[in-house]
Amino acid sequence: MTAYLLNLATLATIFGILAASLNVLIGYAGIFSVAHAVFFGVGAYAGAQVALNLVPDVLLASLAGGLLSGLLSLCLALPALRVRGEYFVAASLGLQMLAVTVFSEAHSLTGGHGGLVGIPPASLLGIDVSSPWRFLAVCVGALTLSLVSIAILMRGGFGRGLMAIRDSESAAEALGKNVPALKTIAVAIGCSLAGVAGTLFAFQLAFINVESFTLEQSVLLMAMVIIGGAGTLLGPLVGTLLLLLLPAVLSFIPFIPATEIGTVQQLVYGLAMTLLMIFRPAGLAAPSTGRR
């Protein structure tokens, strides 16, 4: 039971980083990407390759995963600079589909559909951190660092620049904001953090394959951010806890047959989303009232 809860807590922490990273794009910069699982995957594969072929150091692997995801985020930044709104959603959808094909076919890098197995236990600067408690501590540290970094950036001029673009791109330009540069940096930061989350995910599961980086995952991440409260610091965490823990909670309810949990989960998700959009459209953690 403890092992199960520790695993759940570690996954919630990793997905917390992932949702917080997507919040930089959706919540602060207004870039509605449905391709975030791609950068989660790139980070996971890169981190896993470092662990398998070099050294299973979680810091080094996370740096590699974050850097590669940040670099490849230019694939997302380029359409973000040219198109907006629903056109960008369509462009990111294309990128997501393309990436899943690459993940499935690039056997030498990703292991194809079979994935990468036997990812060695994590260490941190020579210290073994593979035990569930220690790895949870590493993940909590990474989450804290991510949230503090995001909070500092978003409270400053950079964050105001992103939010200005989100609220009115043309007005932001008219006030001297370099919109292409701001968007590119926002995408790079968000995707780098997603890459770090991917690396931690690879260490936690010791096995990764394309199934974790599909469009469904991207949509789930988007739901986490929107349900929790896009553009708020803690909203994505609230959304993550709700959506990740719901299946676990349902499995403990005695009168729901194990075979029906998936169906009940979908019903609860659907109902929760509908009620939320009616009563708290800005998300659970967002301030609800205005001055008038």
Partner 1 sequence: MPGSLLSVRGLSKEFGGVKAIQSVDMDLVEGVVTALVGPNGAGKTTLFNLICGHISPDAGEVQLAGRPIRGERPHTIARLGIARSFQDLRLFGRMSVRDNVLSALEPTAWLWQPGGRRAARARLHKTEAALERTGLSALAGARAVDLSYAETKFLSLARILVTEARIWLLDEPASGLDPVSRARFVALLKEAVAAGVTVCLIEHNLDIVTELADRIAFLDRGRKLAEGEPAAILRDPELIGIYFGEPRR
Positions that interact with partner 1 (CB under 8 A): 153, 156-158, 160-161, 163-164, 166-168, 170-179, 181-182, 185, 231, 290-292
Q: Which is nearer to partner 1, 36 or 166 (CB)?
A: 166
**Collapsed DSSP state (helix, strand, coil) of residue 1:** coil
Smallest separation, CB 130 to partner 1 (Å): 34
| Residue 166 C-beta: closest distance to partner 1, Å | 8
- Helix and strand tally (H, E) in the chain? 13, 4
- Of the pair 7, 149, the CB lying nearest partner 1 is at 149
First to last CA, the chain: 50
CA 62 – CA 196 distance, rounded (Å) = 5
The nearest distance, CB 235 to partner 1, in angstroms, is: 13
Q: Which is nearer to partner 1, 176 or 254 (CB)?
A: 176
**140: Cβ–Cβ under 8 A, 6 or more apart, which residues?**
13
Whether the CB-CB separation of 190 and 26 falls below 8 Å is answered with no
Q: Which residue has the tokens 């989303």?
A: 273
Taking the least distance from each CB to partner 1, the nearer of 12 and 227 is 227
Q: How far is the CB of 77 from partner 1 (least distance, A)?
A: 13
Q: Which H, E and C letters describe 206-251, residue by residue?
A: CEECHHHHCHHHHHHHHHHHHHHCCCCCCHHHHHHHHHHHHHHHHH
What's the min distance (Å) between Cβ of 161 and partner 1?
Answer: 6
Q: How far is the CB of 91 from partner 1 (least distance, A)?
A: 22
**Structural contact between residues 3 and 14, judged by C-beta atoms closer than 8 angstroms:** no
Collapse the DSSP code of 3 into the 3-class scheme (helix H, G, I; strand E, B; otherwise coil) and give the result: helix
Nearer of residues 257 and 292 to partner 1, judged by Cβ: 292
- For the record, the structure tokens of 196 come out as 């770090």
Identify which of residues 75 and 179 has a Cβ nearer to partner 1 in the complex.
Answer: 179
Which residues partner with 127 through β-bridges?
Answer: 124
Determine phi and psi for 208, rounding to 5 degrees: -135, 145
Residue number, 25 or 202, with CB nearest to partner 1: 25
Shortest distance, position 188 Cβ to partner 1, whole Å: 11
CA–centroid distance for 168 within its chain: 25
| DSSP bridge partners of 124 | 127
